[in-house]
Amino acid sequence: MAKGHLPLQLTAILPSGPLTAGAPLLRAQIDVRVTNVSASLLHRMTDHAAKLTVAQNGIVVTTPAPQRGSGRVYLLQPGASQEYKSSVNLRRCDRAPDGVSLRPASYQLYAAQPFFLLGEPEGQGDRTLVVVRAGPWDFEIA
């Protein structure tokens, strides 16, 4: 793998229609896919979901939804993918009154997820932390 290239890639799988904020938490669930783009088996540990940020016209309008810190260990073959749910926070992060959701409009979604690469499944090898970032993906809020 060339220097500077990460062994994993994130992709958001957005619904074909607009997102809506689920009450009372003002969040929506989307699928995220992680793909091993390296030529090696990856033994990795990560949180159970990606951290998703929403922007509009280059300005961050929501921060990632809080998550429970539960690390999981996985093996991912070269070229293989795994999908899982992640929460999108649709509560505005500016100084608006608590509980104000994003207005219906077009937005961009960004993802970040730390992966701790554990080396060989038998416990041998280097242990490396990589943070995979991806986006933007355009979406609508109804």
Q: Which pTM does this prediction carry?
A: 0.85
CATH of domain 8-141: 2.60.40
pLDDT band at residue 43 under the 50/70/90 scheme: confident
pLDDT band at residue 72 under the 50/70/90 scheme: confident
Tell me the β-bridge partners of 23.
none
Least confident of 15-24, 62-71, 78-87, 114-123: 114-123
Q: Indicate the domain borders of the chain.
A: 8-141
Residue count (the chain): 142
Q: What is the dihedral of CA 99, 66, 140, 104, to 10 degrees?
A: 10
What are φ and ψ of residue 111, in 5° steps?
-125, 150
